[in-house]
Structure 1
Amino acid sequence: MFGKNKKGNVSDSEYGAMLGGHLNFAASEAYKLLRTNLMYALTGEETDECRVVGVTSSVRGEGKSTTTLNLAYSIAEAGQFVLVLECDMRLPTLAKRLGIDGSKGISNLLAGLCNGSEVIKRTNLHQNLYVLPAGEIPPNPSELLGSERMKVSLDVLRKDFDYILLDLPPVNAVSDPLIASKLTDGMILVVRQNYSNKRSLAEAVRQLRFVDAKILGFVMTSSDSGAKGNKKYYKKYYKQYGYGYGYGQQKEKTSS
């Protein structure tokens, strides 16, 4: 058993300086504000039920995986049990960044080749934070995410965790996040300032709207509070949805 039903020691594997307790004060506070806004956005849900939130972006390189992990860490710091599902099965990075064994994961679980206890890993970031890596790269990620086994697996995992965050591929790259959005209580769209263009962001929003995904809000990464650029354009979306928050000063890695 995991999460609410298990205690134990935190591992000593290495992790990046851009994660968890290694963040500087400004970035750490930004994630705490993001955590608060997320919890507020989901206040309409049953308080004792697990929340499932998808995190995606319009294109690669906007920092969605870093955002997912740090948001998960911030939620874990608040005493909640959190599981990050690495649903970007085409280009997985989380296992390597966290220093955990990623040879088996979601793809193996959904293919019926293993069970959750074999592939869910407690991270060294926080004792309440777990990760289910992508596992072996499958030929059919979209089909796996949309399968009945995925729904059943999530229902089982909900019993052990307070929050489940899905680290998803970019919306404009593949259909995976659109399919997975049906399994979530809402979606967060990560936007890297002065990186993704207006057209890409608008197309991502259009696609999410088309499948009736609930957009909880936006997170701006690599934010410069004094920069203008596309910021006015982003603010139009920030006002329309649940929240928006940018953080900068400590530049994050944007490998995903």
Structure 2
Amino acid sequence: MFKKQPRQISKRRSLITRENPMSPISEQFRTIRTNIQYAAIDQDMQVIMTTSSGPAEGKTTINANLAETVGQQEEKVLLVDADMRKPSVHYMFYLANHTGLSNIITKQRDFADVVQSTSNEALDVLTCGPIPPNPSELLGSQTMKHFINEARALYDYIIIDTPPVLAVTDAQIVAGISDGVILVVDSGHTEKEDARKATELLKQSNAKMLGAVLNRQERKTSNYMYYYGG
């Protein structure tokens, strides 16, 4: 749909739903995709935000693989990196991050100039772009709302990656303009109290909680010791 930007060397991470689509892990992502589609029966569920209570719980990996899985169903998908403090979506797809969301919100660039295509024809990626000094203010701006509304007209699904809930207010702000929110929980890392606090904060923003994705849960019946599950 859009012209690719020049690529740069980066720390590429595993996109298992593309590299091994028949694996048990990829099947779990298809289950998550199906659950989201069922949630959309009675109401609009076009803009999905994913976050976690704390750092290093796997939210970006979940987001990237979920977006890839939805795109494999030939639904037009835009994956947005709204983590303007520690962006990492571009690593998942080996993309440049010279320009992106921050340039759009500050009206320096147009969407069509900075969005990037991937090898999945149905999936586009909008990287974070230059890290701004005021992420919360930008994400809560009218320009951000206007951008999301524009994207709704172009894509079937918009999946947004945000910072951890307990660290900063960014996720709460984006939750207010999203149709549904998924909380990523690391089975061996996330404290129950932190997950509870994160859920409460999101609900205070009138977020529609779709549920949680349990990450890195041991699965003894498979050769895969860890998987992503709903």
* Fold match (TM-score > 0.5): yes
Specify the SS of the correspondent of 1:161: coil
Q: 2:29, 2:66 within 8 Å by CA — same for their partners in 1?
A: yes
Q: CA deviation at 1:197?
A: 0.7
- 1:137 Cα deviation from its structure 2 partner: 0.4
Q: Return 5+ residue gaps in structure 1 as ranges.
A: 227-246
**Partner of 2:33 in structure 1?**
35
Deviation at 1:100, TM superposition (A): 1.1
The equivalences for 1:17-56 within 5 A come to 17-23=14-20, 25-45=23-43, 51-56=46-51
1:13–1:98 contact (8 Å) kept in structure 2: no
Q: How many residues align?
A: 224
In the alignment, what sits opposite 1:249?
224
Structure 2 residues without counterparts, runs of 5 or longer:
none
1:177 counterpart = 2:171: yes
Instruction: Report the TM-score when normalising by structure 2.
Output: 0.89
Return closer, same or farther for 1:250/1:121 CA change in 2, 3 Å cut-off. farther
TM-score by length of 1: 0.81
- Cα distance in 1 for partners of 2:181, 2:52 equals 10
Root-mean-square deviation (Å) = 2.5
What is the aligned partner in structure 2 of residue 240 from structure 1?
none
Shift of 1:22: 1.6
What amino acid does structure 2 have at the position aligned with 1:129? Answer: L
CA distance in 2, matches of 1:30, 1:208: 25
How many angstroms apart in 1 are the aligned matches of 2:17 and 2:219? Answer: 23
How far does the alpha carbon of each residue in 1:168-212 deviate from its partner, in whole angstroms, 9 at most, with x for none?
111001000100011100100000102011111111011112222
Distance 1:31 1:96 in 2: 19
Residue 101 of structure 2 corresponds to residue 106 of structure 1: yes
The CA deviation string for residues 7-65 of structure 1, in whole angstroms up to 9 with x for no partner, is x89x999953344322461001000000000111111125xxx7001000010111100
State the identity as a percent.
32
Q: Is the 8 A contact 1:41 1:216 kept in 2?
A: yes
Runs of 4 or more off by more than 6 Å in structure 1? 11-14
Structure 1 residue aligned with 2:86, among 70, 83, 91?
Answer: 91
